[in-house]
């Protein structure tokens, strides 16, 4: 049996086609940010409290008013069918079984109807790229809202796709492999990257938040915010959440690790809206540190794909269960009996 998330990573590396593995693990350019998302956690030291009754620990919390069993959810990654035949349907089933939120990618390899049919009671959010053809975006939003999606996660850090050196060396392309089911992706002929997402509207800007608010009742969460200036603009544009993200180090290389950008955003937001984080979460103490520094929950990207590769829905459940047990143990060992008892006092700042 696998005893940590790294075991699932090793399995995926050994069992995926080389170009698929390199696409999933890939970062932008020199992968400085991809690697620092992980190493930044290892520099943070915890300050445990003892002699508290730790016989019962409660890991439940809420996001946008919906309850989740522990503060770890599934980030939007595309093309789950690259890892498992039923792809996103399996991912959604695991999320429903674990009672955590699954953010479905715009570039899902399964129809949204099928994802919902397979996991009708799961908490689902939709990740959106505004398409150049706004009618397509409006139709997609109305469809998923009618399917019971509860929030819209607008990705702001991808006006174009990051520079993925290994994908370019591998001439890795999607349309050849499998199509996106819910959105038509025009095949680009002579673009330097076969992964170009030219259908994304690079003119999208702050004024479009009002447009989105005019076509949906879903709360809007901005994914990719890294600075206090943009956090303040998010507040002034009345969005309901911020997901501090650097796209797993796959977009602009040499931005900070998300755990290092979190404090700036949390301090700017001053509790007015919920702040979430993705990037580099691999152990239970990583989750505890992110919450201690102000994240309401964290999102997993690559580890979910490793679980899918191992054994589909069951593999994703094993990844989530493993992390839940590690997180529970980190609470027991620091004297946190509930999420509300996790505070920044748990983190040693003297060395940061």
Ligand X SMILES: Cc1ccc(Sc2snnc2C(=O)O)cc1
Cβ nearer to ligand X, comparing 195 with 322: 195
In the complex, the smallest distance separating the C-beta of residue 187 from ligand X, rounded to whole angstroms, is 9
In the complex, the smallest distance separating the C-beta of residue 279 from ligand X, rounded to whole angstroms, is 12
Cβ nearer to ligand X, comparing 81 with 197: 197
Cβ nearer to ligand X, comparing 157 with 230: 157
Q: Does 27 bind ligand X (CB under 6 A)?
A: no
Question: Catalytic pick from 80, 184, 237, 247?
Answer: 247
- Of 250, 302, 317, 324, the one binding ligand X (CB under 6 A) is 250
In the complex, the smallest distance separating the C-beta of residue 329 from ligand X, rounded to whole angstroms, is 31
Q: Does 78 bind ligand X (CB under 6 A)?
A: yes
Secondary structure string (H, E, C) spanning the chain = CCCCHHHHHHHHHHHCCHHHHHHHHCCCCCCHHHHHHHHHHHHCCECCCCCCCCCCCECCEEECCEEECCCEEECCCCCHHHCCCCHHHHHHHHHHHHCCCEEECCCCCCCHHHHHHHCCCCCEEEEECCECCHHHHHHHHHHHHHCCCCCEEEECCCCCCCCCHHHHHHCCCCCCCCCCCCCCCCCCCCCCCCCCCCCECCCCCCHHHHHHHHHCCCCEEEEEECCHHHHHHHHHCCCCEEEECCHHHCCCCCCCCHHHHHHHHHHHHCCCCEEEEECCCCCHHHHHHHHHCCCCCEEECHHHHHHHHHHHHHHHHHHHHHHHHHHHHHHHCCCCCEHHHCCHHHECCCCC
Q: Does 302 bind ligand X (CB under 6 A)?
A: no
Cβ nearer to ligand X, comparing 166 with 263: 166
- Identify residues 96-135 at the interface with ligand X (CB under 6 A): 107
Binding mask of the shown chain, residues 172 to 201, with x at each position contacting ligand X by CB under 6 A: --x----------x---------x-x----
Question: For the CA atoms of 312, 318, 323, 327, what is the dihedral angle to 10 degrees?
Answer: 140
How many residues form the binding site for ligand X (CB under 6 A)? 10
Cβ nearer to ligand X, comparing 41 with 174: 174
In the complex, the smallest distance separating the C-beta of residue 246 from ligand X, rounded to whole angstroms, is 11
- Identify residues 149-168 at the interface with ligand X (CB under 6 A): 158, 161
In the complex, the smallest distance separating the C-beta of residue 28 from ligand X, rounded to whole angstroms, is 9
Give yes or no: 247 in active site.
yes
Cβ nearer to ligand X, comparing 181 with 289: 181
- Of 80, 93, 124, 247, the one binding ligand X (CB under 6 A) is 247
Residue 343 tokens read as: 């505070």
Please give the positions annotated as active site: 247
Q: Can you give the binding site for ligand X, defined by CB under 6 A?
A: 78, 107, 158, 161, 174, 185, 195, 197, 247, 250
């Amino acid at each position: 049996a696998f005893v940590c998330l790294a075991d699932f990573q090793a399995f995926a590396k050994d069992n995926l086609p080389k170009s698929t593995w390199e696409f999933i693990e890939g970062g932008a350019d020199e992968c400085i940010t991809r690697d620092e998302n992980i190493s930044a956690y290892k520099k943070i030291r915890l300050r445990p409290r003892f002699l508290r009754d730790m016989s019962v620990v409660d890991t439940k919390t809420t996001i946008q008013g919906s309850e989740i069993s522990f503060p770890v959810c599934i980030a939007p990654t595309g093309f789950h069918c690259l890892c498992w035949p039923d792809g996103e349907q399996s991912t959604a089933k695991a999320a429903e079984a674990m009672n955590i939120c699954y953010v479905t990618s715009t570039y899902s390899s399964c129809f949204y109807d099928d994802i919902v049919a397979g996991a009708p009671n799961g908490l689902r959010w939709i990740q959106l790229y505004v398409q150049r053809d706004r009618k397509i975006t409006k139709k997609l939003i109305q469809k998923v809202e009618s399917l019971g999606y509860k929030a819209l996660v607008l990705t702001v850090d991808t006006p174009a796709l990051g520079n993925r050196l290994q994908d370019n060396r591998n001439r890795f392309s999607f349309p050849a492999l499998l199509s996106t089911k819910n959105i038509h992706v025009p095949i680009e002929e002579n673009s330097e990257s076969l992964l170009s997402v030219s259908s994304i509207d690079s003119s999208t800007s702050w004024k479009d938040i009002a447009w989105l608010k005019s076509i949906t009742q879903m709360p809007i969460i901005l994914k990719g915010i890294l600075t206090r200036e943009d956090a303040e603009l998010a507040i002034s544009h009345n969005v309901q959440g911020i997901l501090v993200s650097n796209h797993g180090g796959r977009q602009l290389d040499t931005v900070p690790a998300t755990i290092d950008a979190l404090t700036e955003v949390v301090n700017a937001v001053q509790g007015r809206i919920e702040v979430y984080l993705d990037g580099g979460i691999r152990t239970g103490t990583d989750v505890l540190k992110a919450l201690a520094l102000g994240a309401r929950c964290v999102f997993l990207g690559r580890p979910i794909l490793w679980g899918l590769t191992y054994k589909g829905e069951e593999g994703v459940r094993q990844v989530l269960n493993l992390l839940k047990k590690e997180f529970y143990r980190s609470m027991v060992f620091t004297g946190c009996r509930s999420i509300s008892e996790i505070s920044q006092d748990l983190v040693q700042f003297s060395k940061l």
